[in-house]
Amino acid sequence: GAVVSQHPSWVICKSGTSVKIECRSLDFQATTMFWYRQFPKQSLMLMATSNEGSKATYEQGVEKDKFLINHASLTLSTLTVTSAHPEDSSFYICSANPSDSYRELFFGEGSRLTVL
Q: Which residues bind other proteins (CB under 8 A)?
A: 1, 4, 6, 32, 34, 36-37, 39, 41-47, 49, 57, 59-62, 91, 93, 95, 97, 100, 103-110, 112
- CB nearer to other proteins: give 54 or 86: 54
Angstrom distance (rounded) from CA 108 to CA 98:
13
Shortest Å distance, C-beta 59 to other proteins: 4
Smallest gap from residue 29 Cβ to other proteins (A): 15
- Cis before 8? omega within 30: yes
Indicate the SS3 state at residue 86: helix
14 vs 41, beta carbon nearer other proteins? 41
- In whole angstroms, give the CA distance from residue 86 to residue 88: 5
How many whole angstroms from its chain centre is CA 46?
Answer: 9
| Least CB distance to other proteins at residue 30 (A) | 11
